[in-house]
Structure 1
Amino acid sequence: MFVMSQRKSVASRPSRRQFLATSLFSGLAVGQCTLGQPVLAADRPIRLKTANNRDLFRVRMEMDVKGNVHLAKDPMIPDSPKQVLPITAKMVLDYEERYLRPSGASADSEVIAAERHYYEATGNSRLNRTDQNTKLRSAVGSVIARREELPESIYSQADYLTAAEVELLRTPVSSVAIDRLVPERALRSGESAEVDAEVLASVLNLSNVVASDVQMELVSIDGAQAKLQMRGKLDGSVAGVPTELRVLGKLTLDRQTNTVSWAAIAIHETREIGKAEPGFDVTATIRMIRKPVARAQKLARTPAKVDFNSEPPTERMLMSVNCDHAGVSALMDRRWRIMKDAPGESVLRMIENDDSIAQLNLRTLPRLGEGEQWTLEAFEQDVKRTLGERFTDIIQSQEGVTDGGLRMLRVVAAGAVQGVPIQWIMMHFSDDDQRRVVATLTMDGESAARLGGSDIQLAASLQLTRPAGNVAGDAAGRDGAPEKQGVLKEKLSNNATSQLESTASVRSPSDGINR
């Protein structure tokens, strides 16, 4: 699913190491000493054990993020100048977690699915001067997490998650995989073992790790617990975007339950700017408390059923997207990213493995007069005028009523830009209050097949959310003159400017940063 990216490791910088050490050890590792337990002989190798028969846990995770987000000033323009914005964020996740295994799976096999019920899931962030607060709705308090491919896929069987909720629940450290950090071979106190790259990818929720020098050291051990320390750097990628991480952390292995009961991890990440995601230079500090429990309190008594022979259900992997300025909401494929949400227009891009598949422009149009409607023929003619010399042919045109009760005009046009075949899907939506929105999907000829029915899904679920009296421009065009019926003012443009402070999103390991 994800493209592996080979990169050279970045040399260690003393200032970064000092910063990480300060942030981790000055406040995160308080209260982890054990009194009255005999210390085992330091010269005798000891093999640590983790339990494979425990599948139910209560987990609390708190995260703090601080650093800078790197944005293209205009994501619509290649090689746009960059801007750097400061960011801080805090997240709290408190949940019950049950592991789900395929039929016949051994206890030693990696856990690739879990169901969770959240007692609390909140995130507060500030990007430059813009505050964003996210709280998981109670209606989607129980979710399924699939981990066959990473980052893990999270969905609710009760309702659709919003884009902000998806980001909130995608954690920078996996409670499912945390036990895998415990070295499998026997160690003496003060001795270290290399952490496998596959384990790091699973624990840190990365698509892949291509280079790593991360080591896990056994600091001390007694009859009750073992203390371990992790440090090092790694190169990997998330959804095709290269990333560099430096990690420094402490773990406590409870030797009575044979599980990691406590962890404090500082992660400094430098991520390049992707086609749909900002880059960043941030430090995330994660504190986790984890305890096995005998019986579920909020999860159903019977474990959720998961078809491990199939990918996560497509119908549950849709997300609820709200473009406030365009006055539109819809259920959309999670490959879509909001690039711009400004008065009068919203721009989204479909991105897969940092490869741009299509662009969607949503633009509000002035209201028509009472009883007036556009005809399909007028819309076709306006599409031709809008595309101009780029237009070559109309592939398909139709009109109808959407599942949401909106009148829809739809035209699929073919053409070329600088010799490259392009396809446009243009849809005009209107309601009985004369509110109107035009959706324009633009893609090259080869990418059209990769839409996966996103245009049909958009049309079926699209709703106009802005009250009729608030439609921009009302009955006048942008220049104040009345708009002529049948003439579409929509222009296909790739150089629209935008303020991105309210729409930037950042992925693991700084998922405390939300829209």
Structure 2
Amino acid sequence: MAQPVIRLWPMLRVPAGMLAVLLYAGSLSAADTYVLEEPSTDTRVRLVQTEVNTQGKVKVSVGGGRSASHELDAAAAFRFLERRLPPGGRDAEALRAIRQFEQGTMQTTVAENSSGTQLPAANSLVVSSGRREGVLNYCPEAALTRDSLDLLELPGDTLALVALLPPGPVEVGGSWAVADWAAQMLATIEAVESAEMKCTLASVSGNVAKIDVAGEVVGQRLGANSTVKVTGQLTYDLQQKFIARGSLEYKIESGIGTITPGIDATVNANIERSLSPSAGRLTDAVAEAIPLEPPAGALELVFAAAPWGMSLRHDREWYVFQALLHGSNKVLILRRMERGSLIAQCNCSPVPTVKPGQQTPADQFEADIQRSLGERFGEIRARERVPTDDGRMITRVIVGGSVELKGDKGAVDIPMMWIYYLVTDPNGRQMSFVFSVEPDLHEQLGDRDVAMVKSVRFVQPQ
């Protein structure tokens, strides 16, 4: 530390001996350092309130290599209690929490078309665990829908904010490089090409420490090239020893993907945290009952087609691409993505009811298949009945054929498999499924098609 410059006015002379003592003391002084941390052993319950606002554009493919842009405006609000859980591993996996949501809503407008999402009361208890690619959420009491899972992907998630804190004591003006996994977790990028993020202890005033955040993560999300730039500031309460608030701005640029539109948007997240006077449901008993790893089936998602009187379950690699539940062309389309690559597509639709105990005749079902495929139809490779133990009848027909793809250099035939299912309940209600997959990817699809089909449950239409 440099020696202080001491200027003495004539009326404020200091004896030489005293000046020597002052200078010696000054040479031993050092800048104050601060420990900014939130250990997992701190199980105090915090109240978290988050507001997120998004403005920008979405880009969709309109064919012929062309795209169209539409205005995007979204607002989300969350209020929940949060309590830390013991670590489940190292780095991101060390960050775990259980949350009790009191509010989780989002309103989105794209091209003047508005839609809303709200976290159901049945999913108010959520277990959150850090992962490099973001925060993994599940509800231990009821399966989440894809909409609810997406809603819970909070910009500025508090677990990701904790990962930004310095690894050791830091003085005002001191900076530290954020670990690659922490930057990736904050940006929710699945496959990272580059990650650079830095934090700086900008100031300390009383019990308030201000931390500046800035960085950029480049990579792929759901197979689409993405760049996320993050800037903002965290406020750390030195007395209570936790992050009390955060204000982050995300600049997101993402290309058009197989299951997602392109995004060019600015997301602003404001987070407020305080100690909760009540633990709510987050008691010691509830926290201790949460296992380190999600139980079997806890990560499955549910899709409920209420107008059809049908629900099904699927794993998280299936994404809802389109859902037309009303009108004459009813269809649910899901696409399976693994490590950024499209593996298969599933089309599901209701079909006419038959008499109780019966099913559409096999020859009629196969004729319908051939008619729907047209020139793509090659041959029927297998037909069989899938066993069940609840009175439902499930018929499977596997068809081989090809799809013609046209490009600038001409057309090419791509071999294709279509796996058809007809599901009929004892009352005669029916659903049809068709899974489209290239033969080389059939093994990778495995038995996930039949698992989804077997999960179908018929309920009273609403």
Match of 1:82, as an amino acid? Answer: S
Matching of residue 391 in structure 1 with residue 378 in structure 2? yes
Corresponding position of 2:33: 46
Aligned equivalents of 1:371 and 1:160: distance in 2?
30
CA 1:452–1:316 in 2, change beyond 3 Å: closer, same or farther? farther
Aligned equivalents of 1:91 and 1:304: distance in 2?
31
Corresponding position of 1:280: 263
Counterpart mapping for 1:374-385 below 5 A: 374-380=360-366, 382-383=368-369
CA-to-partner distance for each residue in 1:345-385, whole Å, 9 max, x for gaps?
33221112221111112234455699984222443455456
Counterpart mapping for 1:22-171 below 5 A: 44=31, 46-52=33-39, 53-56=41-44, 57-73=46-62, 80-102=65-87, 111-171=94-154
Secondary structure of the 2:163 match is helix
Corresponding position of 1:316: 298
CA 1:386–1:246 in 2, change beyond 3 Å: closer, same or farther? closer
How high is the sequence identity, in percent, across the aligned residues? 22
Secondary structure of the 1:423 match is strand
Secondary structure of the 1:245 match is strand
Q: Is the 8 A contact 1:394 1:413 kept in 2?
A: yes
Q: Is the 8 A contact 1:241 1:353 kept in 2?
A: no
Secondary structure of the 2:452 match is helix
- Select 1:296's aligned residue among 267, 279, 295: 279
CA-to-partner distance for each residue in 1:150-204, whole Å, 9 max, x for gaps?
3322111211111111111111222123133233455554454333322212333
CA 1:244–1:431 in 2, change beyond 3 Å: closer, same or farther? same
Q: Is the 8 A contact 1:270 1:280 kept in 2?
A: yes
TM-score computed with the length of structure 2 as normaliser: 0.79
CA-to-partner distance for each residue in 1:206-257, whole Å, 9 max, x for gaps?
3354434433232221341211222343323334433212222111111112
Corresponding position of 1:333: 315
Q: Is the 8 A contact 2:37 2:166 kept in 1?
A: no
Matching of residue 444 in structure 1 with residue 427 in structure 2? no
Aligned equivalents of 2:425 and 2:121: distance in 1?
32
Q: Is the 8 A contact 2:135 2:185 kept in 1?
A: no
Corresponding position of 1:428: 422
Corresponding position of 2:16: none
Aligned equivalents of 1:110 and 1:291: distance in 2?
24
Does 1 or 2 have the higher relative contact order (CA < 8 Å, sep 6+)?
1
- List gaps (5 residues or longer) in structure 2: 1-28, 404-411
TM-fit CA distance, 1:336: 1.6
Q: Who wins on radius of gyration, i.e. which is larger?
A: 2
Matching of residue 179 in structure 1 with residue 162 in structure 2? yes
CA 1:441–1:45 in 2, change beyond 3 Å: closer, same or farther? same
- Select 1:460's aligned residue among 439, 447, 454: 454
Aligned equivalents of 2:300 and 2:356: distance in 1?
36
Aligned equivalents of 2:185 and 2:270: distance in 1?
18
Counterpart mapping for 1:474-513 below 5 A: none
Count of aligned positions:
418
- Select 2:343's aligned residue among 344, 357, 366: 357
Corresponding position of 1:13: none
Secondary structure of the 2:148 match is helix
Aligned equivalents of 1:102 and 1:248: distance in 2?
28
Aligned equivalents of 1:360 and 1:319: distance in 2?
15
* Structure in which a larger fraction of residues adopt strand: 2
Q: Is the 8 A contact 2:247 2:269 kept in 1?
A: yes
Moved more, 117-126 or 313-322: 313-322
Q: What is the CA RMSD across the aligned residues, in angstroms?
A: 3.3
Secondary structure of the 1:152 match is strand
CA 1:43–1:277 in 2, change beyond 3 Å: closer, same or farther? farther
Aligned equivalents of 1:266 and 1:109: distance in 2?
22
